[in-house]
Chain A
Amino acid sequence: ETGVTQTPRHLVMGMTNKKSLKCEQHLGHNAMYWYKQSAKKPLELMFVYNFKEQTENNSVPSRFSPECPNSSHLFLHLHTLQPEDSALYLCASSQEGSVRGYGYTFGSGTRLTVV
């Protein structure tokens, strides 16, 4: 499989549940990102990982917990979410360094609904 793969594609969870989103990239990239996309709001960068190290956390609530065990995998662990956390969660990867001009490669996202 090529590109960036996100699972699950859809997720419905209660506010007391714990679930995880998974992202996997097969491009040999060394940076990975989580974005939140809500209706009528711009893309919100949540977390950035470079070479497995978290380099950015944009004031994301602690009910979102990222994990990057290696450069190919990225997880977003969810617990005690709120209805306003319902959104499309996008994962992206990139090759940092001198090849910034190639941009990001995105996955198809996980549509999360919190009930």
Chain B
Amino acid sequence: AQTVTQSQPEMSVQEAETVTLSCTYDTSESDYYLFWYKQPPSRQMILVIRQEAYKQQNATENRFSVNFQKAAKSFSLKISDSQLGDAAMYFCAYRSAWGRDDKIIFGKGTRLHILP
């Protein structure tokens, strides 16, 4: 079974600085999707960025980018120019691309604090 591990329960970063959130996963599959979700105090989980495993190019969305290392099974999220609105819980997630089991598997989350 696939697993997703986020080893940093909490992190803090100064406003305007850059922070990297770590995520590793375990799978025997070669084709899958990876996601980072953000859950602010408003509680709604919002998709921040997604990566397709067959694409070597790292995904970017404005100030958010990922470092996808398929061989190492690592999928870190980099937030540049951190803003107060980035304060939230961040979840790394995995989803198989094929097969009957198509559930998203979530990590335990990393709470990110932005220091003014």
Contact B43 A103, beta carbon cutoff 8 Å? no
CA gap between A92 and B109 in the complex, in Å: 18
Stretch at the interface among A16-24, A72-80, A104-112: A104-112
Kindly name the residue among A42, A48, A107, A109 whose own CB sees the greatest number of chain B CB atoms within 10 A.
Answer: A42
Contact A103 B44, beta carbon cutoff 8 Å? no
Contact B104 A103, beta carbon cutoff 8 Å? yes
Name the one of A43, A100, A106, A111 contacting B44, with C-beta atoms under 8 angstroms: A106
Query: A101 near B: Cβ within 8 Å?
Result: yes
Least distance between B77 CB and chain A CB atoms (Å):
15
CA gap between A53 and B30 in the complex, in Å: 29
Q: Which residue of chain A has the shortest Cβ distance to B97 in the bound complex?
A: A100
Tell whether A107 pairs with B44 under 8 Å between CB atoms, given A43-B91, A45-B103, A101-B52: yes
Contact A42 B109, beta carbon cutoff 8 Å? yes
Q: Which residue of chain A has the shortest Cβ distance to B47 in the bound complex?
A: A103
Interface of A: prevailing SS: mixed
CA gap between A45 and B103 in the complex, in Å: 9
For chain A residues 35-71, which have a beta carbon within 8 Å of chain B?
Answer: 42-43, 45, 48, 56
Which residues of A sit under 8 angstroms from B106, Cβ to Cβ? 42-43
Contact B97 A42, beta carbon cutoff 8 Å? no
Query: Can you report 28 residue pairs joining A to B where beta carbons are below 8 Å apart?
Result: A42-B107, A42-B108, A43-B91, A45-B103, A48-B103, A56-B103, A88-B43, A90-B45, A92-B45, A100-B96, A100-B102, A101-B50, A101-B52, A103-B35, A103-B37, A103-B47, A103-B93, A103-B95, A104-B47, A104-B104, A105-B47, A106-B37, A106-B44, A106-B45, A107-B44, A108-B44, A109-B43, A111-B43
A positions within 8 Å CB-CB of B: 42-43, 45, 48, 56, 88, 90, 92, 96, 100-109, 111
